[in-house]
Structure 1
Amino acid sequence: MAYFAQVLAVHPEAVAVDVRLDNGRVLAGVPVLSASASMDSGSRALPNPDGTTVLAVVDFIGDDRPYVQGFLFPHGNSCAFTDNRALGLHHSGAYYSVTEGADMEVFHPSGAYLRIAETGDHEDLTGADYQGEFAVTKNTGKIVSITLGLTGTDTTRITLSQDGITVRGDVSVTGSITASKDIKADTISLQLHKHGNGNAGGDTDVAKASP
C-alpha cells in the first residue's frame, strides 16, 4: 500500500530521506527510487526540504521495506509552466530549460548562461510560470566564469569571465579576423608598431590602414 508523506530530512550520502506518512508514522532513511542506479552509474536529484514543503509517495516491499516511489509538486510550485518545456530546477537556483521549439539554456544564479537557440538573449523565466512563482533568489551574488577545457599537463581551455575571453593553447583560424581595437603580439602593437626604413637609425611612420 502506498502513502503520501512529507519529507523531513534528506541523506545525500545514502540517496535516502526521512519522512512522515499521512498516518503519522515517521520513517528514517527511506531509499529513493531512481530512474537509473548501479554500483558505478546512476542519476539522483534529492529535493531540499529546508523551509519548503516536499511531498513524496512511499510504498513498501513486503511489510517492512519502505521506499520512495517519487515526489509530488505541491500546489503553487514554481515549475508549473503552461508550455510543455523540460525544466530542471535545483534548490540552489541553477536550472536548465528546453522549450518545445528546441531552445536550450543552462542558467546560473549569478546571471551566467549557456544558450543554444535562434536568439542569444537569456530567457528570463522570473514570474513566467502559471502561478507567477518562479524566481531565482539564491547564489545571485557570485562572480563566476564559464570554461571549456581539456585536462592535461598543458591544459587547453577557453574561459569567459568578467575580464573578457582568455584562450590557453594554440589558435588556428580559417577565415578573416576583424578587430575594432588594436591587436598585440606580446608587446608589439599591430596599429602602432614601426618598421625600419633601411637607413641606419631611421624608422618609418606608424602602420597605416590599407587604402
Structure 2
Amino acid sequence: MTRLGGLLAAYQRRDPAARSKLEIFLLYPGVHAVIYHRIAHWLHCHKLRFLARAVSQWSRFWTGIEIHPGAAIGHRLVIDHGMGIVIGETAEVGDDCLLYQGVTLGGTGKDQGKRHPTLGNNVLVGSGAKVLGPFTVGENARIAAGAVVLEEVPPNSTAVGVPAQIVRVDGRPVYYADDVDQIHIKNPTLEKLNALTARVEELERRLREKEQQ
C-alpha cells in the first residue's frame, strides 16, 4: 500500500489534471498498467511464463500499454496517457521516471540476452520517442518528443532529433523529470542547415556584387 500511495502521489505531483488519488487509482490507465505488470512480473520470475503473458496481454487490451512481464520497472513510474507505449523484455526503468504516449523501449534485432535499454532514475521520455538498443540512458536525462535514440545518453542531458543528438549536458540542475519543455528545444541538425543556408546566401550576395563592379 505504501508503494501504491507513492505512485498515486507521483501522479498528483506531475499531472495538473489529477484531482484526487481515488480518481487516479480508478481511472488512470498508467496506474492500472503498472499494477498489472507487478503481477505479471512476479509470475514471470516464478517461471509461470504463460500466466505472466496472459496478464500482460490483458493489460495491453485494457490499457493500450504493452509491458513485457520480464521488464524491470522501478518505483513511482508515471505514464501520462500511455496509449501505444511498448516496453521490451529486457528493458529496465529506474525510479521516478516519466513516459508519455507512444514511447517505445525496444530492441534493434533478434539478438539474445540484453537487447533493450536501461533508463536511470528520474528520466523523462517524450511523446512518440523511440529508445532502441541495450544501452543506458543516464539519470535525469530527457528525451525530446519524437526522438529516436540509438546510443547511450549521459546523465543530466537532453537528446533531440532523428537520430537523437545530445544538445545539453549539465546545462542546468535537473531535479524532477517532468521539468522539461518538450516543444521549445532546438534541433541541432536544423541549426546546421540554417547556418549553411545563410552562408550560401552570403556568398551569392558577394558574387553578385563582384559581377556588378
* TM-score of the alignment, normalized to the shorter chain, above 0.5: no
With normalisation by structure 1, the TM-score equals: 0.28
Which has the larger share of helix? 2
TM-score norm. by structure 2 comes to 0.28
Larger Rg: 1
